[in-house]
């Protein structure tokens, strides 16, 4: 049975800043690079800032976000832990640390980090929402397991369907969070003369899935251009699977962004391993089903599906999520997760 994928919020916030306005401008440009999927360039630019100002909180935090988006989760974890050690009063590093733990299935550690975020800032809505995401994900997995053990369990099926529907509703509603980024500039100006209260801002291009409050809601209608975005992204994912099946290494690799980096190895190591795994089997068959495209904005989507892999030496079936960015006229994979 299918359960919707989930991606917790990565908080791109206005933190207390003790740097010149030049650095603020550079950080704004770096955030634009992040949204464009140009992670290597963004990382290089933020490292330039940190070379001059190693204690710049916003730059350190932004570096953690970039590394998370590059799937360099261990490096990102170290940054957020260092920020927590240096500034335990800030809730945002705890929240982003929880994102990393949750993406690795470490739900108890994620829950603990979110509780620490809430303890430092009880009104921090992002942490409360992410905690709901974790509970929803765990419930989804439990219902899915129940159906695998007994596919006649209609109660579990209905509950699983409800959780999936809530994920879908939130995927559309997350678009409203993009508008919050406009407030950042004024907060940064204030921070030049005083230390403002920390205001959490959700990173515009990242989806969140949370349990919807029990109250009446007005259905959110997706913009008409989202249909085209959804179709184009789905076609790109199908082409990715076809190139894998045909063992066409060049087409397969070209489906990934030049900035794509797996979290557990370098890109160079990943390229060597992928080429080997595509060429070694005598045959490969990759089948996708239950494809679900969540449009975050016209330049970013997440695609969730059930993937069945078969070869002469190995076979498996997994739930997978691909995050794609629209880069230079193509939908390219910037992040890949298996559940």
* Span 21-190 CATH architecture: Alpha Horseshoe (1.25)
**What stretch(es) of the chain map to CATH 1.25.40.10?**
21-190
Cα separation of 71 and 259, whole Å? 10
For residues 118-123, average pLDDT? 82
Question: Which tens digit of pLDDT belongs to each residue from 124-173?
Answer: 777 787 777 777 777 776 777 777 777 788 776 777 666 566 555 444 44
Using a pLDDT cut of 70, give the percent of the chain over it.
72
Average pLDDT, the chain: 75
Give whole-number Cα distances, 303 to 126, 145, 163, 292, in Å. Answer: 23, 22, 17, 6
Give whole-number Cα distances, 7 to 101, 138, 142, 175, in Å. Answer: 12, 13, 18, 14
Q: Angle CA(26)–CA(103)–CA(87) in degrees, nearest 5? A: 50
Question: Which tens digit of pLDDT belongs to each residue from 265-295?
Answer: 888 999 999 999 999 999 999 999 988 998 8
Residue 51: pLDDT over 70:
yes
Q: Tokens representing 179?
A: 């508008």
CA-based torsion, 182, 188, 193, 196: positive or negative: positive
For residues 202-210, average pLDDT? 33
Residue 95: pLDDT over 80:
yes
pTM for this one? Answer: 0.48
Residue 180: pLDDT over 70:
no
List the strands of the sheet with 284-297, edge to edge: 284-297, 300-311, 315-327, 330-338
For residues 70-80, average pLDDT? 90
Q: How does 293-309 read in b/e, with b if 16+ C-beta sit within 10 Å?
A: bbbbbebbbbbbbbbeb
* Span 225-338 CATH architecture: Roll (3.10)
* Least reliable range by pLDDT among 83-87, 198-202, 258-262, 283-287: 198-202
Cβ(95)–Cβ(113) under 8 Å?
yes
- Name the DSSP letter for residue 213: P
How many CA atoms lie within 13 Å of 61's alpha carbon, on the beta-carbon side? 26
Cα separation of 312 and 229, whole Å? 36
For residues 190-202, average pLDDT? 32
Cβ(171)–Cβ(207) under 8 Å?
yes
For residues 260-264, average pLDDT? 81
Cα separation of 224 and 188, whole Å? 35
**What stretch(es) of the chain map to CATH 3.10.450.50?**
225-338
For residues 210-237, average pLDDT? 64
Tell me which of 65 and 218 has the higher pLDDT. Answer: 65
pLDDT band at 202 (very low <50, low <70, confident <90, very high): very low
**E strands of the chain, at which residues?**
284-297, 300-311, 315-327, 330-338
For residues 258-264, average pLDDT? 83
Cα separation of 199 and 184, whole Å? 9
Cβ(171)–Cβ(219) under 8 Å?
no
Kindly tell me the burial class for residue 317, based on how many C-beta atoms sit within 10 Å of its own C-beta (0-12, 13-18, 19 or more): exposed
pLDDT of residue 310: 93
């Amino acid at each position: 049975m299918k359960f919707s994928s989930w991606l917790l919020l990565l908080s791109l916030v206005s933190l207390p800043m003790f740097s010149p306005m030049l650095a603020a401008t550079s950080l704004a440009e770096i955030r634009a690079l992040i949204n464009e999927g140009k992670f290597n360039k963004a990382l290089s630019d933020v490292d330039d800032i940190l070379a001059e100002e190693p204690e710049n909180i916003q730059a350190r935090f932004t570096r953690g976000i970039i590394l998370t988006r590059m799937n360099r989760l261990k490096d990102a974890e170290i940054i957020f832990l260092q920020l927590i050690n240096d500034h335990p009063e800030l809730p945002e590093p705890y929240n982003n640390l929880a994102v990393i733990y949750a993406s690795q299935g470490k739900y108890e550690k994620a829950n603990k980090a979110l509780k620490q975020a809430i303890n430092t800032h009880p009104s921090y809505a992002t942490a409360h929402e992410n905690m709901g995401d974790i509970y929803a994900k765990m419930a989804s997995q439990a219902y899915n397991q129940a159906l695998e053990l007994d596919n006649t369990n209609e109660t579990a099926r209905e509950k699983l369907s409800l959780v999936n529907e809530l994920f879908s509703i939130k995927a559309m509603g997350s678009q409203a969070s993009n508008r919050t980024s406009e407030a950042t500039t004024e907060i940064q100006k204030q921070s030049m003369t005083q230390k403002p209260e920390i205001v959490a801002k959700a990173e515009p291009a990242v989806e969140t899935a949370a349990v919807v409050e029990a109250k009446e809601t007005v259905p959110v209608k997706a913009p008409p251009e989202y249909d085209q975005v959804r179709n184009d992204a789905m076609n790109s994912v199908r082409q990715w699977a076809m190139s894998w099946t045909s063992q066409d290494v060049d087409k397969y690799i070209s489906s990934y962004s030049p900035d794509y980096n797996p979290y557990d190895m370098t890109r160079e190591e990943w390229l060597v391993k992928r080429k080997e795994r595509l060429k070694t089997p005598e045959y490969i068959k990759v089948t996708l089903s239950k494809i679900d495209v969540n449009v975050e904005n016209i330049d970013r989507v997440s695609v969730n599906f059930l993937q069945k892999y078969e070869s002469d030496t190995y076979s498996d079936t997994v739930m997978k999520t691909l995050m794609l960015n629209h880069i230079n006229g193509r939908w390219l994979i910037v992040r890949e997760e298996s559940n």
